[in-house]
């Protein structure tokens, strides 16, 4: 999961904890805490441990990607709707014809 590495480090420093102390409290290795603070990447279990130790909600630690609406595509459903409706009606008529034929119509 992508998390805010600088925020993790800032909270740890506010508590005046070393990386090793935080690792011990979270039940993870020192290397894990180093990686979290450097790369901003952590397993879900690590994030949950950090939340419990820091007593913060998960959303406070996660980085939520922003959506660039300028790259959204506009979808025109006019022609597709007509084609889907025609295919549906055609399918219904074909199915009804087959049923009529199978029943000895």
What is the C-alpha separation between 19 and 103, in angstroms, rounded?
77
Q: What is the pLDDT of residue 9?
A: 96
The stretch 22-41 carries a mean pLDDT of 96
Q: Using a pLDDT cut of 90, give the percent of the chain over it.
A: 69
pTM over 0.85: no
5-61: CATH superfamily: lambda repressor-like DNA-binding domains (1.10.260.40)
Q: Is the pLDDT of residue 8 over 90?
A: yes
Q: What is the pLDDT of residue 77?
A: 66
The stretch 39-47 carries a mean pLDDT of 94
The CA–CA distances, whole Å, from 93 to 31, 79, 98 equal 66, 21, 9
Q: What is the pLDDT of residue 72?
A: 72
pLDDT category at 73 given cuts 50, 70, 90 is confident
Whether the CA torsion 60, 14, 6, 30 is positive or negative: it is negative
In the chain, where the domains are located: 5-61, 74-102
Q: Which residue has the tokens 């409706």?
A: 85
Higher pLDDT, 73 or 40: 40
């Amino acid at each position: 999961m992508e998390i805010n590495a600088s925020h993790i480090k800032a909270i740890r420093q506010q508590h005046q904890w070393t990386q090793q102390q935080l690792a011990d409290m979270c039940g993870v290795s020192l290397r894990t805490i180093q990686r979290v603070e450097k790369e901003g990447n952590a397993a879900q279990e690590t994030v949950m441990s950090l939340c419990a130790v820091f007593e913060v909600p998960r959303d406070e630690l996660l980085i939520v990607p922003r959506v660039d609406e300028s790259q959204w595509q506009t979808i025109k459903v006019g022609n597709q709707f007509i084609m889907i409706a025609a295919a549906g009606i055609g399918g219904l008529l074909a199915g009804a014809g087959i049923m009529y034929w199978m029943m000895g119509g």
